[in-house]
Amino acid sequence: MRLQQPRFKLLALALAATVTGVTAGAAVANAAAAGCQVTYAVGSQWAGGFTGNVGITNLGDPLTSWTVRWSFTAGQTVTQAWNAGVTQSGGAVTAVNTTWNGALATNGSASFGFNGSWTTTNPAPTSFTLNGVICTGTTTPPSTPPATATPTPTTTTPPSTPQQRTVRVYWLKPSDVAFDQRWPDGIANVMREAQRYYRQELGKTFTLNNQVVEVVNGDHVKSWYENTPNGDERYWWSVFNMQQELMRKLSLRAPDSRWINVGLISAEGPGAGGGGGGGWVILCQHDADGAAGVNGPMNRWYGGMVHELGHALGLPDSTSTDGTPMSASFYSYPDTHFNQSQKTGILNGPYGSFLS
């Protein structure tokens, strides 16, 4: 993202073009076969502690990386792990492959273990997912497109259309970019921090959906988004190409009176950036990577999202570095604050009624 006065005008013009130039329609599904089986066993247990062993078998198409997720229901906590990187938030546990055991062929297996703590009881988890697919011991076959149709990757969306007057968040993954759970998880964490900040500043904030990030499998390889012209400046190509694809696949509008929309794409290109305006935030790879924790200190990405959401909610850039997040002061996040005029502008703006 960058600070510039013409951004708002350019973004608005491009949004209008996407409405008139794209016909909404359903994509042809062409998903890979997916399926998995998980074994979970307590190898040993003692007062207040235990050792857990997890085995995964990929029943679907080959994978280049894997993420296993489950939830503990009785307050158990993972304290140490091996053969996987394990993190925990509340009862939700996420295990990600190491650098040497990420590839899983069809019927290929991997295993990892951990030490944990428990209090009153230590029940086994009842459900596991592998790369977002619930492990049932069976496979979901790929759908077969018509012989004359061009295969189009699927879009991973929530089980039902998200509630209106909320913020919908998308990570568009080009077809040649491997899935990595750190990206949707990291983007979700950035959005939650921005949500907290807006409540701190305004006394009310926007609503996120239960599935914070919708993972959208792109129609094209990364270089297509980066090198296909879209807009007067190359700065916008990746994000405008992403936005138009999101609008087509998900029947979105610009502006959209139903949701505030935030899109990030794992593509960039020379001089690429992003921006916000008209109820949209559109950001490229360096923001997505930053959210995932692989591109420098997190305060930069927290502040950047607060800044671009301000544009989406109707605020212009500040004319000087004035200590507010609508100026370069967002780099000093969290030591930056909206002034009263900006607070009034958000609350009385086109999406002020979305905040509660």
Task: Give residue-wise pLDDT tens across range 295-309.
Answer: 888 999 999 999 999
On whether both 159 and 285 belong to a single domain, the answer is: yes
Q: What is the pLDDT of residue 24?
A: 31
On whether both 163 and 127 belong to a single domain, the answer is: no
**Residues above pLDDT 70, as percent of the chain:** 85
On whether both 98 and 174 belong to a single domain, the answer is: no
How many separate domains does the chain show? 2
Contacts of residue 6, defined as CB under 8 A and 6 or more positions apart, other chains included, come to: none
Q: What is the pLDDT of residue 141?
A: 60
Indicate whether 146 belongs to any domain.
no
**Structural domain of 271:** 7-26+152-354
Structure confidence at residue 144 as a pLDDT band (50, 70, 90): very low
On whether both 204 and 266 belong to a single domain, the answer is: yes
On whether both 169 and 127 belong to a single domain, the answer is: no
Q: Using CA atoms, how far apart are residues 288 and 285, in angstroms rounded to an integer?
A: 5
Q: What is the pLDDT of residue 67?
A: 92
On whether both 213 and 339 belong to a single domain, the answer is: yes
Q: What is the pLDDT of residue 231?
A: 85
Least confident piece of the model among 134-138, 225-229, 313-317: 134-138
Q: Which of 109, 139, 169 is the last residue of a domain?
A: 139
pLDDT digits 0-9 by tens, 200-254: 999 999 999 999 999 999 999 999 999 999 988 999 999 999 999 999 999 999 9
pTM: 0.61
- Asked whether residue 30 carries a pLDDT value surpassing 70, the answer given is no
Q: What is the pLDDT of residue 216?
A: 94
On whether both 194 and 275 belong to a single domain, the answer is: yes
Half-sphere exposure at residue 72, Cβ-oriented, CA atoms within 13 angstroms: 20
Indicate whether 2 belongs to any domain.
no
On whether both 179 and 243 belong to a single domain, the answer is: yes
- Asked whether residue 5 carries a pLDDT value surpassing 50, the answer given is no
Q: Judging by beta carbons within 10 Å of its beta carbon (0-12, 13-18, 19+), is residue 15 exposed, middle or buried?
A: buried
Least confident piece of the model among 59-73, 103-117, 131-145: 131-145
Indicate whether 240 belongs to any domain.
yes
- Asked whether residue 154 carries a pLDDT value surpassing 60, the answer given is no
Indicate whether 1 belongs to any domain.
no
Structure confidence at residue 142 as a pLDDT band (50, 70, 90): low
Q: Strand locations in 179-303, DSSP E?
A: 208-217, 259-265, 275-277, 280-283
Q: Using CA atoms, how far apart are residues 231 and 345, in angstroms rounded to an integer?
A: 28
H or E element in which residue 94 lies: strand 92-96
Indicate whether 221 belongs to any domain.
yes
**Residues above pLDDT 90, as percent of the chain:** 70
On whether both 125 and 272 belong to a single domain, the answer is: no
- Give the CA distances from residue 39 to residues 73, 86, 121, in Å, rounded to whole numbers and listed in that order: 18, 17, 20
On whether both 120 and 158 belong to a single domain, the answer is: no
Structure confidence at residue 157 as a pLDDT band (50, 70, 90): very low
Residue 90 belongs to domain with CATH number: 2.60.40.290
Q: What is the pLDDT of residue 242?
A: 97
pLDDT digits 0-9 by tens, 271-286: 899 999 999 999 999 9
Residue 327 belongs to domain with CATH number: 3.40.390
Token digits for 315?
């605020």
Least confident piece of the model among 32-41, 95-104, 138-147, 185-194: 138-147
On whether both 156 and 190 belong to a single domain, the answer is: yes
244 with 18: CB under 8 angstroms? yes
On whether both 70 and 185 belong to a single domain, the answer is: no
